Amino acid sequence: MTTTDAQSPFTVGHRTVTRVAGPLIVVDGMDGVGYGELVEVETGDGPVREGQVLELDGSTAIVQVFGGTVGIGRRQTSVLTRGRAARTGVGNDYFGRVLDGAGRPRDGGPQPVPDDYRHVNGLPLNPITRAHPDQFIETGVSAIDGLITLVRGQKLPIFSGAGLPANSLAARIAAQARVPGDDAEVVVIFAAMGVTRREAEFFRTEFLTGGAAARSVLLLNLADDPTIERLLTPRVALTMAEYLAFEQHRHVLVVMTDMTAYCEALREISAAREEMPGRRGYPGYMYTDLASLYERAGRVRGGTGSLTQLMILTMPDDDITHPIPDLTGYITEGQIVLSRDLDRQGIQPPIDVLPSLSRLMNAGIGVGKTRDDHRGLADQLYACYARGREVRRLMSIVGESGLPTEDRRYLAFAAAFERTYLGQGPARRTLTDTLEVGWQLLAPFPAAELKRVSAEHLAHYHHEASVTATDA
Amino acid sequence: MTTTRPHTEPAPLGRSGLARTVTSDTGRVVRISGPVISATDLPHTRLFDVVRVGTERLLGEVIKLDGDLVVMQVFEDTTGLQVGEPVEATGEPLYAELGPGLLGGILDGTQRPLENLSTDGNLYIARGADPHRLDRNRHWDFRPAVEVGDRVGPGDLLGSVPEGHAIEHRILVPAGAAGIISAIHPGPATVLDPVVDIDGHPIAMLRRWPLRRARPVADRLPLTVPLITGQRVLDLLFPVARGGSAIIPGGFGTGKTVLEQALAKFSTADIVIYVGCGERGNELTEVLEEFPQLTDPRTGAPLMERTVLIANTSNMPVAAREASIYSGITIAEYYRDQGYDVAMMADSTSRWGEALREVSSRLEEMPAEDGYPAYLATRLAGFYERAGAVQCLGTPERTGSVTVVGAVSPAGGDFSEPITQNSLRLAGCFWALDTALSRQRHFPAVNWLRSFSQYGLDAWFDREISADWSPLRRWAAASLQDEGVLQEVVSLLGVEALAAEQRITLRIGQALREDLLQQSSFDDLDASCPPQRLLAMLRVVHEAGAAMRSALQQGVAITDITAASVLADLGRMRRWPADNIHESASRLIQRIAEEMSSL
């Protein structure tokens, strides 16, 4: 039942689809096919769809079809194998283009001319060839630069909730990111999975208008595109990014949104394969699968480029213990958590710094990178704000008059911190400004209470107010 | 000089057991599902035999036999593998290669040196690579400890080679071998060159040991000596014994890895085996870049010279992650048998459990809790029980220990999940990390009310550090307990609702928490705290508490006491210069007493 394509001696067609179930088809007579290999599915009408071999049992293959399985029948469908794993073109010709979730042009333009082709799954970077990320990225957002510092080669997710402005924060970081003292341009590869048309339009405007177009690639898998293609989208984006970062020595920022849609696609495939479900129906290998994406961030020894990842995920019901944020948090180097409360109060960007964290912050700050007082100041702001929030909770029980003077000072600090430090609005702040705002906020505290800051830094930077209102 | 083949322990045949018959088969692949492969035509294959899969000869291991079908897990990526490709069974289980050259090594989960996996400037891990686990070309200076005519048995010391500046690598008679020394070959030798002959059979330095089997010992010893970690909260409240085991469960961001790394850097072990199991590549890079710069606090030699790093990051093949724990513990036992105190850090055992789960699910086994296989508890026990303090086999008499510290990454930070719960039954120390503490930036975020240690080590501390250690320890634990109860009242009624006496308890608790238990891994002076410094700090806090109470009895207002400026100096204790710790403590105690009585 196999036919040979006259044009390519390596292309083999199979016509024995025995089963169609959701996004999967089962094909018999698939001899000579490799595990994970890419296949083409022809239905006779409509474009050729791509698929990938998920399992081989004798000559039977289970294939996931990226274009979806609508219109696939047992007779009319043939499956072509090309003897290679899923690949994508990589190169500079993709800049300024809008692609679909599988990397094909979506903007009506011509097919880009790739420098080369790469397998989309990539290979694990050998840990000994990695270089530890330690270059500070200034995003212009105080909460991030001051407290959750991002460095080149880091993978940092934004944990968002439905309706919170994660997309605009990501776009803002992508637009403003720069490394002080380094003029190297940051290129942005944007992978959108399961986004609405409205969001797609937002990103198109953000990334492909003005000067940004020359340094951006946009991959769009819309909410009504085939779900299964979502599994390919981040891999295509990361493969392009790896080529630019590790072979062309560019600084690449990959923004992936929304990982929740990606994980749901993963769950859909798993269910179609009748696999044993794990927590909330997500497959047991979701950690490994997510790691195979997130771990593609980094820097390598001897290379000047870097691959930084910002991924956005929507926490279902704002639940940070949901498997998607939970597994992500275990893989990524920290997280930025958005807060519905702050958003409601109009504080923009609404970053809740207490559960947020950058694991690589220490490597990227301090003398020679940012400023000597950065660590101590950040710890002190955290400590004071945490205490302020605790007092605020207490106040709701005992009332403000029931609080000691000292506690009231923390209460006032927490409010001021949210208003000025976090709620900076659209203005860009340099790191020096961010640090200065931090020291101003600490002014009402006597030096003795600022235990996280060293004596030298207190002497140099602390504007201790002689008599403050709360002391009086 | 002739070379011998590596000595496989335990030898199944003959007295010195150098001969071993190996039956190898060649079958073919019939089914591929991710890392799980099925093959037929392998009639001689036994469970856990090593296989080479496909034309790329990917490394794998048999995990199930089902009629003619042999099911195996493959330690490398199987993309591109086809049905019908050959499978070669080696007839041997997965071995660790043991001998000089292990220390300073950076290995993957199956003990392959990472630097040999990426050649010619390639950044990625190549497939099918099968480098020697130990360097075959390096020469070691063998210094014999036996003479011709000596009768030797398993575990007896044959001689040693210097491995780095601080460690003397002891070469022992392999398990299963015994007889009379018939020749000695001192001087430079590779791991395959014979260094002695026993009854005419040449014995080289290289040993092979099956990963999944514990190495034999003469006797197990009671656990009475602590492994000093340099972390105040652990050494004071929840000390772990040498040869004991501890688990560190905590949600993400609670500092598991930072704590594991601090233990690897500062604990008083002779040898550290650090297994990065399914964790972040960048974190391992940090270890790889940092450790060579650091020196061992006890010997002054580079820290890397006492360390073996096993790195199987989360994006590396999942089956090799499962093997990495066993590679680590086997190497740990090998150094223990030489008479060393070894600490093994596993970060994280949850990723290891998940690897088991993934393979189990592909085998379509009946899942137990949370999808984990029903044998999870058995496998965990098999691993944790390999920790221990032992009387080593052979002469001269020596003792060694393997201490295991396993990080656990519970899903959703919920400690009721199976890995935490099963590990909890096995480990003697439970160092519970707390998300709430980490959000207040209280590090190490070890929850002092929830954690425990089952090792009674007070006697050792009272004898070796100071007689007032255990009374002070009990006082600190009780004070923290009392403060915890009072904090609950405060959170409901506010601090004003407390009696003055109780507010002093609150202030003491605060000093214990903020000035004693908190410790910064990023501050050179504070990163590691020796027991004497800890004792000095503890005495100061204790005396400060007494001074506050006596001031209260003198009728001083409680707000004046708790606001006394001298109390801020408690926060500076951690940065006291290392020498004259006890004098610094006495001075501060005196100043506190003076200021309190002057109020």
Is pLDDT at A302 greater than 90 in this prediction?
Answer: no
pLDDT band, very low/low/confident/very high, at B279 (cuts 50, 70, 90): confident
What local confidence, expressed as pLDDT, does residue B563 receive? 86
Is pLDDT at A6 greater than 70 in this prediction?
Answer: no
What local confidence, expressed as pLDDT, does residue B6 receive? 59
pLDDT band, very low/low/confident/very high, at A469 (cuts 50, 70, 90): very low
Please check whether the domain covering B469-598 is classified as CATH 1.10.10.10: no
Number of helices (H), then strands (E), belonging to chain B: the values are 14, 27
Residues 6+ apart with CB under 8 A from A396: none
Angle, to 10 degrees, between the axis of helix A431-442 and the axis of helix A405-416?
A: 160
Domain A3-85: CATH class, spelled out: mainly beta
What local confidence, expressed as pLDDT, does residue B182 receive? 95
Angle, to 10 degrees, between the axis of helix B349-362 and the axis of helix B418-426?
A: 120
Lowest average pLDDT, out of A331-345, B5-19, B468-482, B491-505, goes to B5-19
* Cβ pairs A/B, distance under 8 A: 213
Q: How far apart (Å, rounded) are the C-alpha atoms in residues A334 and A154? A: 9
Look at B412 and A321 and tell me if their CB atoms are within 8 Å.
yes
Longest distance between any two alpha carbons in chain B, whole Å: 90
pLDDT band, very low/low/confident/very high, at A16 (cuts 50, 70, 90): confident
Q: Where are the domains of chain B?
A: 7-12+137-210, 25-92, 219-455, 469-598
Q: Tell me if chain A has a CB within 8 Å of the CB of B434.
A: no
Look at A35 and B32 and tell me if their CB atoms are within 8 Å.
yes
SS (H, E, C) B225-279: CECCCCCHHHHHHCCCECCCEEEEECCCCCCHHHHHHHHHHHCCCCEEEEEEECC
User: How many Å lie between the alpha carbon of A181 and the closest alpha carbon of chain B?
Assistant: 24
What local confidence, expressed as pLDDT, does residue B502 receive? 95
User: How many Å lie between the alpha carbon of B359 and the closest alpha carbon of chain A?
Assistant: 9
Residues spanned by CATH 2.40.10.170 within chain A?
Answer: 3-85
Is pLDDT at A470 greater than 80 in this prediction?
Answer: no
CB proximity under 8 Å: A 325-384 to B: 326-327, 329-331, 333-335, 354-355, 357, 359-360, 362-363, 375, 379, 382-383
Q: Is B187 helix (H, G, I), strand (E, B) or coil?
A: strand
What local confidence, expressed as pLDDT, does residue B596 receive? 92
What local confidence, expressed as pLDDT, does residue A471 receive? 40
Query: To which residue do tokens 């908190």 refer?
Result: B518
Q: Tell me if chain A has a CB within 8 Å of the CB of B124.
A: yes
Residues 6+ apart with CB under 8 A from A305: A244, A245, A246, A248, A249, A250, A251, A252, A299
pLDDT, chain B, mean: 90
Candidates A123, A130, A451; nearest CB to B281: A130
Look at B118 and A128 and tell me if their CB atoms are within 8 Å.
yes
pLDDT band, very low/low/confident/very high, at A308 (cuts 50, 70, 90): very high
Which of B28, B87, B123 is the best mutation test for A, with the most CBs of A within 10 A? B123
> B111, exposed or middle or buried, with CB in 10 Å at 0-12, 13-18, 19+?
buried
pLDDT tens digits, one per residue of A167-214: 999 989 988 888 888 888 889 999 999 999 999 999 888 888 767 788
Is pLDDT at B181 greater than 80 in this prediction?
Answer: yes
pLDDT tens digits, one per residue of B29-70: 999 988 899 999 998 888 889 999 999 999 999 999 998 999
pLDDT tens digits, one per residue of A247-295: 999 999 999 999 999 999 999 888 888 887 878 889 888 988 999 999 9
Q: Is B553 helix (H, G, I), strand (E, B) or coil?
A: helix
Is pLDDT at A467 greater than 60 in this prediction?
Answer: no
Tokens of B574: 């951690």
Q: Tell me if chain A has a CB within 8 Å of the CB of B285.
A: yes
pLDDT band, very low/low/confident/very high, at A12 (cuts 50, 70, 90): low
Element (H, E) at A414: helix A405-416
Which superfamily does B219-455 belong to? P-loop containing nucleotide triphosphate hydrolases (3.40.50.300)
Assign 3-state DSSP to chain A and report helix, strand, coil percentages, each to 5: 35, 25, 35
Lowest average pLDDT, out of B286-290, B405-409, B485-489, goes to B286-290
Q: Tell me if chain B has a CB within 8 Å of the CB of A212.
A: no
What local confidence, expressed as pLDDT, does residue A372 receive? 93
**Contact by Cβ (8 Å): B116, B29:** no
CB proximity under 8 Å: A 272-311 to B: 275-279, 284-285, 287-288, 291-292, 295-298, 300, 302
Look at A55 and B30 and tell me if their CB atoms are within 8 Å.
no
Q: How far apart (Å, rounded) are the C-alpha atoms in residues A168 and B133? A: 50
pLDDT band, very low/low/confident/very high, at B140 (cuts 50, 70, 90): very high
pLDDT tens digits, one per residue of B95-135: 999 999 999 999 999 999 998 887 777 888 888 888 899 99
Is pLDDT at A62 greater than 80 in this prediction?
Answer: yes
What local confidence, expressed as pLDDT, does residue B284 receive? 85
Tokens of B335: 């150094």
What local confidence, expressed as pLDDT, does residue B22 receive? 55
Conformational region of residue A198, where left means phi above 0, alpha means psi within -120 to 50, and beta covers everything else: alpha
Percent of chain A scoring above 70 in pLDDT: 95
CATH of B7-12+137-210, one of 2.40.50.100, 1.20.120.420, 3.30.420.40, 2.70.70.10: 2.40.50.100
Look at A295 and B280 and tell me if their CB atoms are within 8 Å.
yes
Which of A30, A130, A306, A453 is the best mutation test for B, with the most CBs of B within 10 A? A130
Q: Tell me if chain A has a CB within 8 Å of the CB of B471.
A: no
* The CATH number of the domain covering residues in A88-364: 3.40.50.12240
User: How many Å lie between the alpha carbon of B437 and the closest alpha carbon of chain A?
Assistant: 10
Look at A451 and B514 and tell me if their CB atoms are within 8 Å.
yes
Is pLDDT at B10 greater than 60 in this prediction?
Answer: no
Conformational region of residue B167, where left means phi above 0, alpha means psi within -120 to 50, and beta covers everything else: beta
Q: Please provide the distance, in angstroms rounded to a whole number, between the alpha carbons at the two ends of chain B.
A: 83
Tokens of A26: 């089962």
Average pLDDT over residues B359-375: 85
Residues spanned by CATH 3.40.50.12240 within chain A?
Answer: 88-364
- Which residues in A286-308 are b (16+ Cβ under 10 Å) and which e? bbbbbbbbbbbbbbbeebebbbb
**Contact by Cβ (8 Å): B355, B318:** yes
pLDDT tens digits, one per residue of A94-150: 999 999 988 889 999 999 999 999 988 888 899 889 999 999 999 999 999 999 999
**Contact by Cβ (8 Å): B50, B59:** yes
* The CATH number of the domain covering residues in B25-92: 2.40.30.20
For residue B8, the Cα-to-chain-centroid distance in whole angstroms is: 25
Q: How far apart (Å, rounded) are the C-alpha atoms in residues B291 and B287? A: 6
Lowest average pLDDT, out of A38-47, A227-236, A330-339, goes to A38-47
- DSSP one-letter code for B283: H
Q: Tell me if chain B has a CB within 8 Å of the CB of A128.
A: yes
pLDDT band, very low/low/confident/very high, at A8 (cuts 50, 70, 90): very low
Average pLDDT over residues A426-454: 91
pLDDT, chain A, mean: 88
User: How many Å lie between the alpha carbon of A145 and the closest alpha carbon of chain B?
Assistant: 18
Tokens of A390: 């605790």
